[in-house]
Structure 1
Amino acid sequence: MNANALSMNARGRARRASRSRAVDVGARAGFVARGVIYLLVGTLALRIAFSDGGGQQADRGGAIAEIAGKPFGSILLWVLGVALAGMALWRLSEAFFGQAGPDGHKAGKRAVAAARFVFYAFVSYSVLSYAAGDKGSGSGSSDRQTDDVTARALEWTGGQWIVGIAGVGVIGAGLWMAYRALTRKYHKHLKTGEMTRRSRQAVDVVGVFGGTVRGAVFATAGGFAVAAAVRHEPGRAKGMDDTLRSFTETPAGPWLLVLIAIGLAAFGLFSWANARWRKI
Protein backbone atom coordinates (compact mmCIF):
# COMPACT_ATOMS: atom_id res chain seq x y z
CA MET A 1 0.00 0.00 0.00
CA ASN A 2 1.53 3.34 -1.06
CA ALA A 3 1.78 6.47 1.09
CA ASN A 4 -1.21 8.13 -0.57
CA ALA A 5 -3.43 5.14 0.13
CA LEU A 6 -2.23 4.99 3.73
CA SER A 7 -2.99 8.69 4.15
CA MET A 8 -6.50 8.27 2.72
CA ASN A 9 -7.07 5.26 4.97
CA ALA A 10 -5.97 7.24 8.03
CA ARG A 11 -8.25 10.15 7.11
CA GLY A 12 -11.11 7.73 6.65
CA ARG A 13 -10.58 6.25 10.11
CA ALA A 14 -10.37 9.74 11.63
CA ARG A 15 -13.58 10.78 9.87
CA ARG A 16 -15.38 7.67 11.15
CA ALA A 17 -14.10 8.42 14.65
CA SER A 18 -15.52 11.95 14.40
CA ARG A 19 -18.95 10.41 13.73
CA SER A 20 -18.60 7.78 16.46
CA ARG A 21 -20.94 7.10 19.34
CA ALA A 22 -18.37 8.54 21.75
CA VAL A 23 -18.33 11.91 19.98
CA ASP A 24 -22.13 11.92 19.86
CA VAL A 25 -22.39 11.27 23.60
CA GLY A 26 -19.69 13.85 24.36
CA ALA A 27 -21.44 16.55 22.35
CA ARG A 28 -24.80 15.90 23.98
CA ALA A 29 -23.24 15.87 27.43
CA GLY A 30 -21.66 19.21 26.56
CA PHE A 31 -25.04 20.70 25.72
CA VAL A 32 -26.36 19.50 29.07
CA ALA A 33 -23.40 21.13 30.84
CA ARG A 34 -23.88 24.39 28.93
CA GLY A 35 -27.53 24.34 29.93
CA VAL A 36 -26.61 23.93 33.59
CA ILE A 37 -24.31 26.96 33.45
CA TYR A 38 -26.88 29.20 31.75
CA LEU A 39 -29.62 28.13 34.15
CA LEU A 40 -27.39 28.97 37.11
CA VAL A 41 -26.34 32.32 35.63
CA GLY A 42 -30.02 33.13 35.08
CA THR A 43 -30.81 32.16 38.69
CA LEU A 44 -27.96 34.30 40.03
CA ALA A 45 -29.11 37.24 37.90
CA LEU A 46 -32.59 36.91 39.40
CA ARG A 47 -31.12 37.09 42.88
CA ILE A 48 -29.25 40.25 41.94
CA ALA A 49 -32.41 41.78 40.46
CA PHE A 50 -34.28 41.40 43.75
CA SER A 51 -31.35 42.15 46.07
CA ASP A 52 -27.66 42.94 45.92
CA GLY A 53 -26.89 39.30 45.11
CA GLY A 54 -25.00 38.80 48.34
CA GLY A 55 -21.68 39.34 46.59
CA GLN A 56 -22.41 36.59 44.07
CA GLN A 57 -21.35 36.84 40.44
CA ALA A 58 -23.89 36.33 37.68
CA ASP A 59 -21.39 34.76 35.29
CA ARG A 60 -19.65 31.45 34.66
CA GLY A 61 -17.41 31.92 37.70
CA GLY A 62 -20.43 32.51 39.88
CA ALA A 63 -22.09 29.37 38.50
CA ILE A 64 -18.99 27.30 39.26
CA ALA A 65 -18.81 28.66 42.79
CA GLU A 66 -22.53 27.94 43.24
CA ILE A 67 -22.05 24.30 42.24
CA ALA A 68 -18.94 23.93 44.41
CA GLY A 69 -20.92 25.01 47.46
CA LYS A 70 -23.49 22.23 47.07
CA PRO A 71 -23.28 18.68 48.48
CA PHE A 72 -21.08 16.58 46.17
CA GLY A 73 -20.21 19.85 44.42
CA SER A 74 -16.67 18.74 43.59
CA ILE A 75 -17.96 15.58 41.90
CA LEU A 76 -20.51 17.63 39.96
CA LEU A 77 -17.74 19.96 38.77
CA TRP A 78 -15.69 17.01 37.51
CA VAL A 79 -18.71 15.76 35.58
CA LEU A 80 -19.38 19.24 34.22
CA GLY A 81 -15.76 19.72 33.14
CA VAL A 82 -15.58 16.35 31.39
CA ALA A 83 -18.90 17.05 29.62
CA LEU A 84 -17.56 20.38 28.37
CA ALA A 85 -14.44 18.58 27.15
CA GLY A 86 -16.78 16.35 25.13
CA MET A 87 -18.30 19.48 23.60
CA ALA A 88 -14.82 20.78 22.76
CA LEU A 89 -13.81 17.52 21.04
CA TRP A 90 -17.02 17.53 19.00
CA ARG A 91 -16.30 21.09 17.84
CA LEU A 92 -12.76 20.03 16.97
CA SER A 93 -14.12 17.18 14.83
CA GLU A 94 -16.38 19.71 13.07
CA ALA A 95 -13.36 21.92 12.39
CA PHE A 96 -11.50 19.01 10.77
CA PHE A 97 -14.34 17.18 9.01
CA GLY A 98 -17.22 19.66 8.77
CA GLN A 99 -20.62 19.92 10.42
CA ALA A 100 -23.74 17.89 9.82
CA GLY A 101 -25.83 19.26 6.97
CA PRO A 102 -25.34 20.08 3.27
CA ASP A 103 -23.23 23.21 3.86
CA GLY A 104 -21.32 21.92 6.88
CA HIS A 105 -18.02 21.60 4.99
CA LYS A 106 -17.69 25.30 4.18
CA ALA A 107 -14.44 26.90 5.34
CA GLY A 108 -16.27 29.58 7.33
CA LYS A 109 -18.22 27.01 9.33
CA ARG A 110 -15.06 25.05 10.04
CA ALA A 111 -13.35 28.21 11.25
CA VAL A 112 -16.25 28.96 13.61
CA ALA A 113 -16.11 25.37 14.87
CA ALA A 114 -12.39 25.79 15.57
CA ALA A 115 -13.05 28.97 17.56
CA ARG A 116 -15.75 27.17 19.53
CA PHE A 117 -13.32 24.33 20.22
CA VAL A 118 -10.83 26.78 21.74
CA PHE A 119 -13.58 28.39 23.86
CA TYR A 120 -15.01 25.14 25.22
CA ALA A 121 -11.54 23.68 25.79
CA PHE A 122 -10.69 26.73 27.90
CA VAL A 123 -13.95 26.52 29.86
CA SER A 124 -13.49 22.79 30.43
CA TYR A 125 -9.91 23.33 31.64
CA SER A 126 -11.07 26.09 34.01
CA VAL A 127 -13.80 23.93 35.54
CA LEU A 128 -11.56 20.87 35.88
CA SER A 129 -8.77 22.96 37.40
CA TYR A 130 -11.20 24.36 39.96
CA ALA A 131 -12.45 20.86 40.76
CA ALA A 132 -8.84 19.73 41.21
CA GLY A 133 -8.25 22.41 43.84
CA ASP A 134 -7.13 25.49 41.92
CA LYS A 135 -9.77 27.85 43.33
CA GLY A 136 -8.38 30.74 41.31
CA SER A 137 -9.28 28.99 38.08
CA GLY A 138 -12.68 29.29 36.53
CA SER A 139 -14.34 31.14 39.39
CA GLY A 140 -12.60 34.47 38.94
CA SER A 141 -14.67 37.57 38.32
CA SER A 142 -15.35 38.07 34.62
CA ASP A 143 -15.45 41.82 35.32
CA ARG A 144 -11.97 41.92 36.84
CA GLN A 145 -10.59 39.72 34.06
CA THR A 146 -12.18 41.97 31.43
CA ASP A 147 -10.72 45.08 33.10
CA ASP A 148 -7.24 43.51 33.25
CA VAL A 149 -7.25 42.36 29.63
CA THR A 150 -8.64 45.69 28.40
CA ALA A 151 -6.09 47.67 30.42
CA ARG A 152 -3.19 45.65 28.99
CA ALA A 153 -4.53 45.93 25.45
CA LEU A 154 -4.95 49.71 25.72
CA GLU A 155 -1.25 50.00 26.62
CA TRP A 156 -0.23 48.48 23.30
CA THR A 157 0.49 50.51 20.20
CA GLY A 158 -2.84 50.82 18.47
CA GLY A 159 -4.50 49.37 21.57
CA GLN A 160 -7.57 51.55 21.25
CA TRP A 161 -8.19 50.23 17.75
CA ILE A 162 -7.68 46.63 18.90
CA VAL A 163 -10.13 46.96 21.78
CA GLY A 164 -12.60 48.87 19.62
CA ILE A 165 -12.50 46.31 16.82
CA ALA A 166 -12.87 43.49 19.35
CA GLY A 167 -15.88 45.29 20.83
CA VAL A 168 -17.46 45.72 17.41
CA GLY A 169 -16.82 42.02 16.79
CA VAL A 170 -18.63 41.09 20.01
CA ILE A 171 -21.53 43.40 19.07
CA GLY A 172 -21.71 41.71 15.68
CA ALA A 173 -21.64 38.26 17.26
CA GLY A 174 -24.44 39.23 19.63
CA LEU A 175 -26.59 40.62 16.84
CA TRP A 176 -25.94 37.49 14.78
CA MET A 177 -27.01 35.28 17.72
CA ALA A 178 -30.20 37.28 18.09
CA TYR A 179 -30.89 37.18 14.34
CA ARG A 180 -30.40 33.40 14.19
CA ALA A 181 -32.75 32.97 17.14
CA LEU A 182 -35.45 35.28 15.79
CA THR A 183 -35.37 33.66 12.34
CA ARG A 184 -35.16 30.16 13.86
CA LYS A 185 -32.05 29.24 11.92
CA TYR A 186 -31.41 26.59 14.55
CA HIS A 187 -34.16 24.44 12.99
CA LYS A 188 -31.71 23.08 10.41
CA HIS A 189 -29.53 21.71 13.21
CA LEU A 190 -32.36 19.92 15.02
CA LYS A 191 -34.12 16.64 14.31
CA THR A 192 -37.49 18.36 14.07
CA GLY A 193 -39.04 15.30 12.47
CA GLU A 194 -38.59 13.43 15.75
CA MET A 195 -40.39 16.12 17.77
CA THR A 196 -44.07 16.28 18.62
CA ARG A 197 -45.90 19.49 17.76
CA ARG A 198 -45.88 20.51 21.42
CA SER A 199 -42.15 19.83 21.69
CA ARG A 200 -41.44 21.99 18.64
CA GLN A 201 -43.49 24.81 20.10
CA ALA A 202 -41.69 24.58 23.44
CA VAL A 203 -38.27 24.49 21.76
CA ASP A 204 -39.19 27.55 19.69
CA VAL A 205 -40.25 29.47 22.80
CA VAL A 206 -36.97 28.88 24.65
CA GLY A 207 -34.88 29.00 21.46
CA VAL A 208 -36.20 32.32 20.17
CA PHE A 209 -36.49 34.04 23.55
CA GLY A 210 -33.31 32.59 25.07
CA GLY A 211 -31.20 33.07 21.95
CA THR A 212 -32.36 36.67 21.49
CA VAL A 213 -31.62 37.57 25.10
CA ARG A 214 -28.21 35.89 24.93
CA GLY A 215 -27.41 37.89 21.80
CA ALA A 216 -28.56 41.11 23.47
CA VAL A 217 -26.25 40.49 26.44
CA PHE A 218 -23.27 39.87 24.13
CA ALA A 219 -24.05 42.98 22.07
CA THR A 220 -24.31 45.09 25.23
CA ALA A 221 -20.97 43.80 26.50
CA GLY A 222 -19.43 44.65 23.13
CA GLY A 223 -20.85 48.17 23.38
CA PHE A 224 -19.10 48.66 26.72
CA ALA A 225 -15.83 47.51 25.15
CA VAL A 226 -16.20 50.05 22.35
CA ALA A 227 -16.87 52.76 24.96
CA ALA A 228 -13.72 51.74 26.83
CA ALA A 229 -11.70 52.06 23.62
CA VAL A 230 -13.15 55.42 22.61
CA ARG A 231 -12.62 56.94 26.07
CA HIS A 232 -9.40 55.02 26.77
CA GLU A 233 -10.88 53.91 30.11
CA PRO A 234 -10.46 50.16 30.82
CA GLY A 235 -13.05 50.33 33.59
CA ARG A 236 -15.80 50.98 31.07
CA ALA A 237 -15.40 47.45 29.67
CA LYS A 238 -17.64 45.03 31.51
CA GLY A 239 -17.72 41.27 31.98
CA MET A 240 -20.89 39.24 32.13
CA ASP A 241 -21.68 40.12 35.76
CA ASP A 242 -21.38 43.91 35.38
CA THR A 243 -23.13 43.78 32.00
CA LEU A 244 -26.12 42.10 33.62
CA ARG A 245 -26.09 44.51 36.55
CA SER A 246 -26.12 47.43 34.10
CA PHE A 247 -29.64 46.48 33.05
CA THR A 248 -30.88 47.53 36.50
CA GLU A 249 -29.71 51.08 35.75
CA THR A 250 -32.22 51.53 32.93
CA PRO A 251 -35.63 53.21 33.42
CA ALA A 252 -37.14 49.72 33.70
CA GLY A 253 -35.03 49.17 36.79
CA PRO A 254 -34.56 45.60 38.05
CA TRP A 255 -37.45 44.30 35.95
CA LEU A 256 -35.37 44.42 32.79
CA LEU A 257 -32.74 42.27 34.52
CA VAL A 258 -35.53 39.89 35.55
CA LEU A 259 -36.48 39.54 31.87
CA ILE A 260 -32.84 39.02 30.90
CA ALA A 261 -32.36 36.44 33.68
CA ILE A 262 -35.40 34.47 32.53
CA GLY A 263 -34.07 34.61 28.97
CA LEU A 264 -30.68 33.21 29.99
CA ALA A 265 -32.40 30.42 31.88
CA ALA A 266 -34.52 29.78 28.79
CA PHE A 267 -31.33 29.44 26.74
CA GLY A 268 -30.20 26.86 29.27
CA LEU A 269 -33.37 24.88 28.58
CA PHE A 270 -32.76 25.31 24.84
CA SER A 271 -29.30 23.80 25.36
CA TRP A 272 -30.94 20.79 26.94
CA ALA A 273 -33.26 20.51 23.93
CA ASN A 274 -30.13 20.46 21.77
CA ALA A 275 -28.78 17.62 23.89
CA ARG A 276 -31.88 15.63 22.91
CA TRP A 277 -32.50 16.61 19.29
CA ARG A 278 -29.30 18.13 17.87
CA LYS A 279 -27.89 16.63 14.68
CA ILE A 280 -24.34 15.63 15.62
Structure 2
Amino acid sequence: MGASGSVTAQGLGRARRAAKGPAVAMAARAGFAGRGVLYLLIGFLALRIAFADGGGKQADRTGAVAEIAEKPFGMGLLWLLGVAVAGMAVWRLSEGAFGQAGPDGRKASKRAMAAGRCVFYGFVAYSVLSFAGGEKSSGGTSSDESSKDVTAKALEWPHGQWIVGAAGLAVAAAGVWIAVRAVLRTFHKHLKMSELSSRARKCVDLLGVFGGTARGVVFTVAGAFAVTAAVRHEPGRAKGMDDTLRSFTDTPAGPWLLVLIAAGLVAFGFFSWTNAKWRKV
Protein backbone atom coordinates (compact mmCIF):
# COMPACT_ATOMS: atom_id res chain seq x y z
CA MET A 1 0.00 0.00 0.00
CA GLY A 2 1.41 3.37 -1.03
CA ALA A 3 1.56 6.53 1.03
CA SER A 4 -1.66 7.88 -0.49
CA GLY A 5 -3.44 4.59 0.23
CA SER A 6 -2.22 4.65 3.82
CA VAL A 7 -3.45 8.21 4.28
CA THR A 8 -6.83 7.31 2.79
CA ALA A 9 -7.15 4.29 5.08
CA GLN A 10 -6.26 6.40 8.11
CA GLY A 11 -8.82 9.01 7.06
CA LEU A 12 -11.54 6.39 6.69
CA GLY A 13 -10.62 4.95 10.06
CA ARG A 14 -10.95 8.32 11.74
CA ALA A 15 -14.26 8.95 9.97
CA ARG A 16 -15.57 5.55 11.08
CA ARG A 17 -14.55 6.19 14.69
CA ALA A 18 -16.18 9.63 14.58
CA ALA A 19 -19.39 8.08 13.19
CA LYS A 20 -19.51 5.77 16.20
CA GLY A 21 -18.46 8.48 18.65
CA PRO A 22 -20.40 10.51 21.20
CA ALA A 23 -20.89 13.56 18.95
CA VAL A 24 -22.87 11.63 16.32
CA ALA A 25 -24.77 9.77 19.05
CA MET A 26 -25.75 13.11 20.57
CA ALA A 27 -26.83 14.35 17.13
CA ALA A 28 -29.02 11.28 16.68
CA ARG A 29 -30.73 11.74 20.04
CA ALA A 30 -31.31 15.42 19.29
CA GLY A 31 -32.80 14.37 15.96
CA PHE A 32 -35.27 12.00 17.59
CA ALA A 33 -36.26 14.75 20.01
CA GLY A 34 -36.82 17.16 17.11
CA ARG A 35 -38.86 14.60 15.19
CA GLY A 36 -40.97 14.11 18.29
CA VAL A 37 -41.73 17.83 18.47
CA LEU A 38 -42.91 17.89 14.85
CA TYR A 39 -45.20 14.88 15.22
CA LEU A 40 -46.62 16.14 18.50
CA LEU A 41 -47.54 19.44 16.90
CA ILE A 42 -48.95 17.81 13.75
CA GLY A 43 -51.05 15.49 15.92
CA PHE A 44 -52.37 18.35 18.05
CA LEU A 45 -53.18 20.42 14.94
CA ALA A 46 -55.07 17.45 13.49
CA LEU A 47 -57.03 17.11 16.74
CA ARG A 48 -58.03 20.77 16.49
CA ILE A 49 -59.20 20.20 12.91
CA ALA A 50 -61.23 17.16 14.01
CA PHE A 51 -63.08 19.33 16.50
CA ALA A 52 -63.62 22.09 13.89
CA ASP A 53 -61.09 24.38 15.57
CA GLY A 54 -58.23 24.26 13.10
CA GLY A 55 -57.93 28.04 12.95
CA GLY A 56 -56.78 27.79 9.34
CA LYS A 57 -53.64 25.87 10.38
CA GLN A 58 -52.28 23.00 8.30
CA ALA A 59 -51.76 19.66 10.01
CA ASP A 60 -48.33 19.07 8.48
CA ARG A 61 -44.72 20.19 8.89
CA THR A 62 -45.55 23.67 7.58
CA GLY A 63 -48.32 24.06 10.14
CA ALA A 64 -46.06 22.82 12.91
CA VAL A 65 -43.34 25.33 11.97
CA ALA A 66 -45.88 28.16 11.85
CA GLU A 67 -47.26 27.13 15.25
CA ILE A 68 -43.79 27.35 16.82
CA ALA A 69 -43.01 30.65 15.12
CA GLU A 70 -46.04 32.28 16.78
CA LYS A 71 -44.87 31.45 20.29
CA PRO A 72 -42.63 33.64 22.47
CA PHE A 73 -39.01 33.08 21.41
CA GLY A 74 -40.47 31.08 18.50
CA MET A 75 -37.69 31.83 16.03
CA GLY A 76 -35.07 30.78 18.55
CA LEU A 77 -36.96 27.55 19.10
CA LEU A 78 -37.09 26.98 15.35
CA TRP A 79 -33.30 27.34 15.13
CA LEU A 80 -32.96 24.71 17.84
CA LEU A 81 -35.47 22.44 16.09
CA GLY A 82 -33.74 22.80 12.75
CA VAL A 83 -30.34 22.01 14.23
CA ALA A 84 -31.83 19.01 16.06
CA VAL A 85 -33.34 17.59 12.86
CA ALA A 86 -30.05 18.24 11.08
CA GLY A 87 -28.50 16.01 13.72
CA MET A 88 -30.78 13.21 12.57
CA ALA A 89 -29.56 13.75 8.99
CA VAL A 90 -25.93 13.57 10.13
CA TRP A 91 -26.58 10.34 12.03
CA ARG A 92 -28.37 8.77 9.05
CA LEU A 93 -25.46 9.83 6.85
CA SER A 94 -23.05 8.02 9.15
CA GLU A 95 -25.27 4.92 9.01
CA GLY A 96 -25.33 5.07 5.22
CA ALA A 97 -21.56 5.36 5.06
CA PHE A 98 -20.51 2.92 7.79
CA GLY A 99 -23.59 0.86 8.69
CA GLN A 100 -26.10 0.77 11.53
CA ALA A 101 -25.83 -0.67 15.01
CA GLY A 102 -26.50 -4.41 15.20
CA PRO A 103 -25.16 -7.58 13.54
CA ASP A 104 -26.75 -6.90 10.13
CA GLY A 105 -26.29 -3.14 10.17
CA ARG A 106 -23.82 -3.11 7.27
CA LYS A 107 -26.24 -4.71 4.78
CA ALA A 108 -26.46 -2.74 1.54
CA SER A 109 -30.24 -2.42 1.80
CA LYS A 110 -30.08 -0.87 5.27
CA ARG A 111 -27.31 1.50 4.28
CA ALA A 112 -29.32 2.60 1.24
CA MET A 113 -32.39 3.24 3.41
CA ALA A 114 -30.25 5.25 5.83
CA ALA A 115 -28.96 7.35 2.93
CA GLY A 116 -32.53 8.01 1.79
CA ARG A 117 -33.53 9.07 5.29
CA CYS A 118 -30.50 11.35 5.42
CA VAL A 119 -31.76 13.18 2.33
CA PHE A 120 -35.28 13.44 3.77
CA TYR A 121 -34.22 14.79 7.16
CA GLY A 122 -31.71 17.07 5.49
CA PHE A 123 -34.54 18.62 3.48
CA VAL A 124 -36.71 19.00 6.60
CA ALA A 125 -33.85 20.61 8.52
CA TYR A 126 -33.13 22.98 5.62
CA SER A 127 -36.77 24.08 5.38
CA VAL A 128 -37.03 24.72 9.13
CA LEU A 129 -33.73 26.59 9.31
CA SER A 130 -34.57 28.62 6.19
CA PHE A 131 -37.89 29.65 7.72
CA ALA A 132 -36.12 30.60 10.96
CA GLY A 133 -33.65 32.62 8.90
CA GLY A 134 -36.40 34.70 7.32
CA GLU A 135 -37.24 32.82 4.12
CA LYS A 136 -40.96 32.49 4.79
CA SER A 137 -41.51 30.73 1.48
CA SER A 138 -39.50 27.79 2.84
CA GLY A 139 -42.14 27.05 5.43
CA GLY A 140 -45.14 28.66 3.79
CA THR A 141 -45.91 26.07 1.10
CA SER A 142 -48.21 23.41 2.45
CA SER A 143 -47.60 19.73 1.82
CA ASP A 144 -50.87 19.68 -0.15
CA GLU A 145 -49.75 22.41 -2.56
CA SER A 146 -46.35 20.78 -2.96
CA SER A 147 -47.89 17.36 -3.66
CA LYS A 148 -50.23 18.77 -6.31
CA ASP A 149 -47.46 20.82 -7.97
CA VAL A 150 -45.01 17.93 -8.08
CA THR A 151 -47.69 15.54 -9.34
CA ALA A 152 -48.79 17.97 -12.07
CA LYS A 153 -45.20 18.37 -13.31
CA ALA A 154 -44.54 14.63 -13.17
CA LEU A 155 -47.70 13.81 -15.13
CA GLU A 156 -46.38 15.98 -17.98
CA TRP A 157 -43.27 13.81 -18.33
CA PRO A 158 -43.08 10.91 -20.79
CA HIS A 159 -44.70 7.93 -19.04
CA GLY A 160 -45.59 10.37 -16.25
CA GLN A 161 -48.67 8.42 -15.19
CA TRP A 162 -46.57 5.31 -14.62
CA ILE A 163 -43.97 7.27 -12.68
CA VAL A 164 -46.56 8.92 -10.41
CA GLY A 165 -48.37 5.62 -9.97
CA ALA A 166 -45.17 3.81 -9.06
CA ALA A 167 -44.24 6.55 -6.58
CA GLY A 168 -47.69 6.33 -5.02
CA LEU A 169 -47.42 2.56 -4.72
CA ALA A 170 -43.99 2.95 -3.11
CA VAL A 171 -45.36 5.41 -0.52
CA ALA A 172 -48.35 3.16 0.18
CA ALA A 173 -46.09 0.12 0.52
CA ALA A 174 -43.83 2.07 2.88
CA GLY A 175 -46.89 2.89 4.98
CA VAL A 176 -47.88 -0.77 5.21
CA TRP A 177 -44.28 -1.66 6.08
CA ILE A 178 -44.20 0.99 8.83
CA ALA A 179 -47.49 -0.21 10.32
CA VAL A 180 -46.58 -3.91 10.19
CA ARG A 181 -43.20 -3.31 11.82
CA ALA A 182 -44.94 -1.31 14.55
CA VAL A 183 -47.44 -4.08 15.23
CA LEU A 184 -44.64 -6.68 15.29
CA ARG A 185 -42.67 -4.45 17.70
CA THR A 186 -39.50 -4.66 15.63
CA PHE A 187 -38.45 -1.44 17.34
CA HIS A 188 -37.43 -3.58 20.33
CA LYS A 189 -34.17 -4.49 18.61
CA HIS A 190 -33.27 -0.83 18.22
CA LEU A 191 -33.92 0.14 21.85
CA LYS A 192 -32.04 -0.62 25.05
CA MET A 193 -34.96 -2.63 26.41
CA SER A 194 -32.90 -4.05 29.30
CA GLU A 195 -32.64 -0.55 30.78
CA LEU A 196 -36.43 -0.12 30.91
CA SER A 197 -38.60 -1.03 33.86
CA SER A 198 -41.66 -3.22 33.30
CA ARG A 199 -43.96 -0.19 33.33
CA ALA A 200 -41.68 1.72 30.95
CA ARG A 201 -41.64 -1.22 28.53
CA LYS A 202 -45.44 -1.31 28.46
CA CYS A 203 -45.54 2.43 27.85
CA VAL A 204 -42.96 2.23 25.04
CA ASP A 205 -44.87 -0.66 23.45
CA LEU A 206 -48.14 1.27 23.55
CA LEU A 207 -46.58 4.40 22.04
CA GLY A 208 -44.60 2.46 19.44
CA VAL A 209 -47.44 0.21 18.26
CA PHE A 210 -50.18 2.85 18.33
CA GLY A 211 -48.02 5.67 16.99
CA GLY A 212 -46.26 3.61 14.34
CA THR A 213 -49.53 2.12 13.08
CA ALA A 214 -51.16 5.56 12.79
CA ARG A 215 -48.13 6.91 10.94
CA GLY A 216 -48.21 3.93 8.60
CA VAL A 217 -51.91 4.44 7.87
CA VAL A 218 -51.29 8.09 6.93
CA PHE A 219 -48.50 7.10 4.52
CA THR A 220 -50.63 4.34 2.99
CA VAL A 221 -53.61 6.62 2.39
CA ALA A 222 -51.39 9.38 0.96
CA GLY A 223 -49.86 6.84 -1.42
CA ALA A 224 -53.33 5.65 -2.48
CA PHE A 225 -54.30 9.23 -3.33
CA ALA A 226 -51.17 9.54 -5.52
CA VAL A 227 -52.09 6.33 -7.35
CA THR A 228 -55.61 7.69 -7.93
CA ALA A 229 -54.13 10.92 -9.30
CA ALA A 230 -52.02 8.89 -11.74
CA VAL A 231 -54.87 6.62 -12.88
CA ARG A 232 -57.26 9.53 -13.46
CA HIS A 233 -54.52 11.90 -14.65
CA GLU A 234 -55.78 14.49 -12.16
CA PRO A 235 -53.01 16.18 -10.09
CA GLY A 236 -55.63 17.54 -7.68
CA ARG A 237 -56.25 14.00 -6.46
CA ALA A 238 -52.79 13.92 -4.86
CA LYS A 239 -52.78 14.98 -1.23
CA GLY A 240 -50.14 16.00 1.28
CA MET A 241 -50.31 15.18 4.96
CA ASP A 242 -52.82 17.92 5.77
CA ASP A 243 -55.42 16.91 3.16
CA THR A 244 -54.76 13.23 3.85
CA LEU A 245 -55.58 13.75 7.51
CA ARG A 246 -58.68 15.82 6.67
CA SER A 247 -59.89 13.01 4.37
CA PHE A 248 -60.45 10.79 7.41
CA THR A 249 -63.38 13.01 8.38
CA ASP A 250 -65.13 11.99 5.12
CA THR A 251 -65.42 8.37 6.26
CA PRO A 252 -68.55 6.95 7.95
CA ALA A 253 -66.73 7.38 11.27
CA GLY A 254 -66.70 11.13 10.70
CA PRO A 255 -64.21 13.17 12.72
CA TRP A 256 -63.63 10.35 15.20
CA LEU A 257 -61.35 8.45 12.84
CA LEU A 258 -59.25 11.61 12.49
CA VAL A 259 -59.22 11.90 16.28
CA LEU A 260 -57.85 8.35 16.48
CA ILE A 261 -55.18 8.96 13.83
CA ALA A 262 -54.24 12.32 15.35
CA ALA A 263 -53.87 10.72 18.79
CA GLY A 264 -51.64 8.12 17.14
CA LEU A 265 -49.39 10.82 15.68
CA VAL A 266 -49.13 12.42 19.12
CA ALA A 267 -48.19 8.98 20.47
CA PHE A 268 -45.52 8.68 17.78
CA GLY A 269 -44.15 12.02 18.88
CA PHE A 270 -43.76 10.71 22.42
CA PHE A 271 -42.32 7.45 21.02
CA SER A 272 -39.68 9.51 19.22
CA TRP A 273 -38.73 11.00 22.57
CA THR A 274 -38.28 7.51 24.04
CA ASN A 275 -35.91 6.84 21.14
CA ALA A 276 -34.00 9.98 22.04
CA LYS A 277 -33.24 8.38 25.39
CA TRP A 278 -33.01 4.66 24.77
CA ARG A 279 -32.15 4.20 21.08
CA LYS A 280 -29.04 2.18 20.27
CA VAL A 281 -26.85 4.52 18.23
TM-score by length of 1: 0.99
Instruction: Give the structure 2 partner of residue 149 of structure 1.
Output: 150
Instruction: Give the structure 2 partner of residue 251 of structure 1.
Output: 252
Instruction: Give the structure 1 partner of residue 31 of structure 2.
Output: 30
- Secondary structure at 1:112 match in 2: helix
**Residues in 2 aligned to 1:3 and 1:147: alpha-carbon distance in whole angstroms:** 50
Instruction: Give the structure 1 partner of residue 75 of structure 2.
Output: 74
Tell me, yes or no, if structure 1 residue 202 matches structure 2 residue 203.
Answer: yes
**Residues in 2 aligned to 1:272 and 1:195: alpha-carbon distance in whole angstroms:** 14
- Secondary structure at 2:55 match in 1: helix
What is the letter of the counterpart of residue 92 of structure 2? R
- Mapped contact 1:123–1:138 kept (Cα < 8 A): no
Q: CA deviation at 1:221?
A: 0.2
Q: CA deviation at 1:56?
A: 0.7
Deviation string 1:144-200 (CA, Å, 9 cap, x unpaired) is: 110000000001110000000000000000000001100001111000011111111
Instruction: Give the structure 1 partner of residue 7 of structure 2.
Output: 6
- Mapped contact 1:81–1:127 kept (Cα < 8 A): yes
- Mapped contact 1:61–1:140 kept (Cα < 8 A): yes
Instruction: Give the structure 1 partner of residue 232 of structure 2.
Output: 231
Q: CA deviation at 1:214?
A: 0.2
**Residues in 2 aligned to 1:80 and 1:117: alpha-carbon distance in whole angstroms:** 16
Q: CA deviation at 1:52?
A: 5.0
Instruction: Give the structure 1 partner of residue 243 of structure 2.
Output: 242
Instruction: Give the structure 2 partner of residue 269 of structure 1.
Output: 270
**Residues in 1 aligned to 2:141 and 2:196: alpha-carbon distance in whole angstroms:** 39
**Residues in 2 aligned to 1:3 and 1:56: alpha-carbon distance in whole angstroms:** 56
Q: CA deviation at 1:19?
A: 1.0
Tell me, yes or no, if structure 1 residue 118 matches structure 2 residue 144.
Answer: no
Instruction: Give the structure 1 partner of residue 85 of structure 2.
Output: 84
- Mapped contact 1:31–1:275 kept (Cα < 8 A): yes
**Residues in 2 aligned to 1:98 and 1:266: alpha-carbon distance in whole angstroms:** 28
- Mapped contact 1:60–1:139 kept (Cα < 8 A): no
**Residues in 2 aligned to 1:39 and 1:81: alpha-carbon distance in whole angstroms:** 16
- Secondary structure at 2:153 match in 1: helix
**Residues in 2 aligned to 1:97 and 1:179: alpha-carbon distance in whole angstroms:** 27
Q: CA deviation at 1:5?
A: 2.4
**Residues in 1 aligned to 2:228 and 2:221: alpha-carbon distance in whole angstroms:** 11
What is the letter of the counterpart of residue 236 of structure 1? R
The gaps in structure 1 that reach 5 residues or longer are none
**Residues in 1 aligned to 2:140 and 2:44: alpha-carbon distance in whole angstroms:** 17
- Mapped contact 1:23–1:86 kept (Cα < 8 A): yes
- Secondary structure at 2:43 match in 1: helix
**Residues in 1 aligned to 2:59 and 2:28: alpha-carbon distance in whole angstroms:** 25
- Secondary structure at 1:217 match in 2: helix
**Residues in 1 aligned to 2:140 and 2:208: alpha-carbon distance in whole angstroms:** 27
**Residues in 2 aligned to 1:54 and 1:195: alpha-carbon distance in whole angstroms:** 40
RMSD (Å), alpha carbons = 0.8
What is the letter of the counterpart of residue 167 of structure 2? A
Instruction: Give the structure 2 partner of residue 64 of structure 1.
Output: 65
Q: CA deviation at 1:262?
A: 0.2
Deviation string 1:194-238 (CA, Å, 9 cap, x unpaired) is: 111111110000000000010000000000000000000000000
Q: Which runs of 4+ in 1 moved over 6 A?
A: none
| Further displaced range: 75-84 or 135-144 | 135-144
What is the letter of the counterpart of residue 266 of structure 2? A
**Residues in 2 aligned to 1:156 and 1:6: alpha-carbon distance in whole angstroms:** 46
**Residues in 1 aligned to 2:142 and 2:3: alpha-carbon distance in whole angstroms:** 55
**Residues in 2 aligned to 1:224 and 1:8: alpha-carbon distance in whole angstroms:** 48
Q: CA deviation at 1:3?
A: 2.8
Identity of aligned residues (%): 68
| Count of matched residue pairs | 280
